[in-house]
Amino acid sequence: RYERSSALFRAAYNVLPGGVNSPVRAFQAVGGTPVFVKEAKGAYFIDEDGNRFVDFIASWGPLLFGHAFEPVLEAVIERTRKGTSFGMPTALETELAEKVISMVPNVEKVRFVNSGTEACMSAVRLARGYTGRDKIIKFAGCYHGHADAFLIQAGSGAVTFGSPNSPGVTPGTAKDTLLATYNDLESVETLVSANTGEIAAFILEPVAGNMGCIPPEKGFLEGLRELCTRKGIVLIFDEVMTGFRLAPGGAQEALGIRADIATFGKVLGGGLPVGAFAASREIMRHLAPEGPVYQAGTLSGNPLAMGAGLAMLTAIEKDPEVFTRLEQKTAYLHKGLEKALDSKDVPVQINRFGSMISVHFTDAKVRDFESAAKGNNDYFKTYFHGMLDRGVYLPPSAFESYFLNDALSYEDLDLAI
């Protein structure tokens, strides 16, 4: 069935150093067969072999309304026809910034970049420039893109991704990046006391999506907020996954806690590469030309990306009920999965927060990647391969984080249960 895709995979492996892009590689790591997407519309995509899949990955999050969403398509086509004029100011950039400011709490200025990674890198640099301090506290298992390599300092080679207990995860220990434990305020307080006056910022996912949807425990974010205010530390919320997905104002709105700098990506670009970081005027004045932090990029704020982002946020603004619909669908999936997995006696824990949901396999045998890679892991076979055979595409990882999109019908959800 996947013969042609496999041939493509081999070809790609030959010409792309280190293999092909992450979703395909991740799929191979769990013993799956790579799926090459040929075209996509709404909740579905078709692979190179002509198979149709219900898509639960939504490009790892951005496609809130599904594939080939008309307003974004039209905006991109229109802007392309008008010429791209990269590197020149356009009204679109200002308009998108105004839109972000109107939707996200506590934000007065926005700067656009090309990815979530860049947004997080920029936020950290800005926090260092603003405070005049070097040290950053990050949380084991929170993912901030390949900027993790930057946060942890060049050369250390350590990247944290996924649950702190995931195989292959080495927490970074470089001297300027200190590692705390998510949901453990004490571990943060200990680090802060041991580095008095040296911590520039905390960076974290307000809902830890990359650990499999781990929500903040009561008092954790409140405690961090209070500590930051008291010690002059910058609180950075990495809202790349939660922004414009949990609510129009992201986790800050959903949880009622305010960050000093927030970073965005994924949904913001509607499927095009757009990232952003946003903060108060007071903090943002430390960017060049007024401040010490130089921030520019050849393609940052380009009109195609800005047009796509504007179309996406305008669609959300016109249809704020999209968040309620997504949450209802997620709750339906949650209930269905719980029932289905219960009857199969599979040891799992399902985490959900609003429209974010993850299924964790709690049995060590299930998390055995080596046997999975050799195709000997029955749970993975059941999960990934079984789902593929059913025509359902799940994001392959140590846990199942489903990214729902508005185009999914309840019948599509039933197929994944």
Q: Where in the sequence numbering do the catalytic residues fall? A: 143, 238, 266
Length of the chain: 417
Contact status: 211 vs ligand PLP (CB under 6 A): no
- 47, 48, 93, 205: residue in contact with ligand PLP (rule CB under 6 A): 205
Q: What proportions of the chain, in percent to the nearest 5, are helix, strand and coil?
A: 40, 20, 40
- What are the residues facing 41 on neighbouring strands? 44
Distance separating alpha carbons of residues 208 and 124, to the nearest angstrom: 18
CB of 58 to ligand PLP, least distance (A): 12
Q: Which residue has the tokens 């990359």?
A: 210
In 3-state terms, what secondary structure has residue 30? coil
Q: Which residue has the tokens 């992450």?
A: 22
Binding segment toward ligand PLP, per CB under 6 A, in 141-149, 151-159, 167-175, 293-301: 141-149
Residues in contact with ligand PLP, counted by CB under 6 A, come to a total of 16
Contact status: 115 vs ligand PLP (CB under 6 A): yes
Contact status: 42 vs ligand PLP (CB under 6 A): no
- 47, 55, 238, 406: residue in contact with ligand PLP (rule CB under 6 A): 238
With beta carbons less than 8 A apart as the criterion, state whether 140 and 180 touch: yes
CB of 116 to ligand PLP, least distance (A): 2
- For residues 234 and 240, which CB has a smaller minimum distance to ligand PLP in the complex? 240
- Residue span 53-82 as binding mask against ligand PLP, x where in contact by CB under 6 A, dash where not: -------x----------------------
- What are the residues facing 272 on neighbouring strands? 270
- Enumerate residues 331-360 that contact ligand PLP by CB under 6 A: none
CB of 356 to ligand PLP, least distance (A): 11
CB of 331 to ligand PLP, least distance (A): 22
**Which tokens sit at 41?**
């519309």
- For residues 145 and 249, which CB has a smaller minimum distance to ligand PLP in the complex? 145
With beta carbons less than 8 A apart as the criterion, state whether 122 and 112 touch: no
Binding segment toward ligand PLP, per CB under 6 A, in 8-16, 177-185, 235-243, 296-304: 235-243
- 143, 384, 402, 403: residue in contact with ligand PLP (rule CB under 6 A): 143
Contact status: 240 vs ligand PLP (CB under 6 A): yes
With beta carbons less than 8 A apart as the criterion, state whether 380 and 372 touch: yes
In 3-state terms, what secondary structure has residue 401? strand
Contact status: 144 vs ligand PLP (CB under 6 A): yes
Residue 106 CB contacts under 8 Å (≥ 6 apart), including other chains = 252, 258, 259, 262, 280
DSSP string computed for 187-244: HHHHHHHHTTTTEEEEEE-SSBGGGTSBPPPTTHHHHHHHHHHHHT-EEEEE-TTTBT
Q: Which residue has the tokens 């939707």?
A: 103
- Residue span 160-199 as binding mask against ligand PLP, x where in contact by CB under 6 A, dash where not: ----------------------------------------
Which residue number places its CB atom closest to ligand PLP?
116
Residues that bind ligand PLP (CB under 6 A): 60, 115-117, 120, 143-145, 205, 209-210, 238, 240-241, 265, 275
